[in-house]
Amino acid sequence: MAIPRYRNFRLLVACNVISVTGSGFSNVAVPFAVLRIGGSAADVGFVGTASLVPLIACLLLGGVVADRIPRHRVIVVANVVQTLTQGTAAALLVTGEARVWQLIVLVAAGGAALGFYLPASSGLLPQTVPASDLAQANAINRAGGNAAAIGGSALGGLVAGTAGPGWALAADALSFALAGALRAGMRFPPSAASTNGDAFLGDLVAGWREFTSRRWLWPVVTQFAIVVAVSAGMIDVLGPLVAHASLGGASAWGFLVTAYAVGAVAGSLTMIRFRPRRIVSAAMLAIPPYSLLLFALAVPLPLPLDLAAAVLAGACVEVYSVNWATALQQEIPPDKLSRVSAYDTLGGYALTPVGTVVAGPLAAAFGTAVVMAAGGALIAILPLLILLVPDVRRMRRRIIVSLC
């Protein structure tokens, strides 16, 4: 495979591996940081979700900005902000001056930066490889990120447990600084950036028209918003409760999370070679098997079978993600890709708070097993209904003009 010879792509993958590894440190460290400074369980939740509102608020603006100026520069600025927020949090924790409200503000600022990062990142990869290599490039990039997430979480737990959560956040800040420095070294021809002079609102409307005019696009995003919300409520809220009550507690849940990550790596590696012709149909068909994890937890099955279901779920998500990213990259004009990606990402986040808020009350009213099974059934059925849309079934892989 010749993909790694492209300098910009090598830098992109290296930067993603570095920053995802650092985020693994942060994901482990933040809850323990809140508890160490005297925060409550509710405070852990507030800090953990503080990034969501600014992230959603900045996504559409980020999409417009990334279609106007070089995308790697947008990401560099986002990395600088993330370096400062994580570095400040680390300094406050190490010196013993941290307060919960300060962590909330810093996490929110990092979420705003992520709102600019995500649309720019979605549009950047097609600029680093020829069009014929897009599918493999997406798979390699995701494989690197998934492997980094496993290593980052493991190392983050070690550092947070021995040196303290402040030093784990310092490592995350360093990862963003290094990734930003490497991204600054990317080189693209002037045509890679948009010179669109329209007003912000005009750009936003143009992106919305591009999004809604494609009858294969918005139905998939709509159903995926529901799937993500259901999954968030079932896995993030009810999953740990099932593990605590029936599977052996936190250690069992840790094994399940690791199994899911292993499956994700396997799925992305598989997609390096697996290139289905009907890419959107393949993406839709990859989602229903994910529901087996919810059914397994609803029973719950013995832990080894739950682990197998988690591996399958992780692999299925990667098959979906690689095919879907390739479909967007081949069908959306390059100068509108970040704006459309922003609407796509917004759909993925929009209903997540609803799913996490209602999961607990529903489980209390109807029972965890019933709610988990119902969520699994919904995830299994919705993608199959989307396949009834003719434009979804007709979408095929093709070669597009590259920006390289």
- Contact between 135 and 326 under an 8 Å Cβ cutoff? The reply is yes
Q: Which helix (H) or strand (E) holds 130?
A: none
Instruction: Identify the CA nearest to 263 among candidates 149, 170, 348, 153.
Output: 149
Write the DSSP assignment of 305-330 as a string of letters.
HHHHHHHHHHHHHHHHHHHHHHHHHH
Report the pLDDT averaged over residues 300-316.
94
Contact between residue 216 and residue 324 where contact means Cβ atoms under 8 Å apart = no
Side-chain-side CA neighbours of 308 within 13 Å: the count stands at 7
pLDDT tens readout for residues 350-402: 888 888 888 888 988 999 999 999 999 999 999 999 999 999 998 888 754 44
**Closest by alpha carbon to 349, among 65, 92, 62?**
62
**Rounded CA gap, 253 and 197, in Å?**
51
Q: Label residue 250 by pLDDT band (50, 70, 90).
A: low
CA 75 to chain centre: 16
Domains of the chain, start order: 1-184 (1.20.1250.20), 199-398 (1.20.1250.20)
Mean pLDDT on 51-69? 90
pLDDT digits 0-9 by tens, 204-222: 888 888 999 999 999 999 9
| pLDDT tier, 195 (very low <50, low <70, confident <90, very high otherwise) | very low
- Given pLDDT bands bounded at 50, 70 and 90, which one contains residue 243? confident
The single-letter DSSP state of residue 51 is T
The answer on pLDDT for 404 being more than 50 is: no
Cα–Cα distance, 307 to 300 (Å, whole number): 11
CA distance 259 to 297: 14
Taking the C-alpha atoms of residue 197 and residue 275, their distance in angstroms, rounded to an integer, is: 38
Handedness of CA 103, 175, 229, 204 (dihedral sign): positive
Q: What is residue 76's predicted lDDT score, i.e. its pLDDT?
A: 96
Question: Average of pLDDT values for 27-45?
Answer: 80
C-alpha R_g of the chain: 21
Would you state the pLDDT for residue 32?
79
Neighbouring C-beta atoms of residue 4, cutoff 10 Å: 12
Beta carbons within 10 angstroms of residue 374's beta carbon: 16
Task: Write out pLDDT tens, residues 128-140.
Answer: 988 888 888 899 9
Cβ(289)–Cβ(316) below 8 Å: yes
- Show the tokens assigned to 176: 């963003």
Q: Per mean pLDDT, which range of 277-286, 320-329, 356-365 is the poorest?
A: 356-365
Average pLDDT over residues 163-187: 93
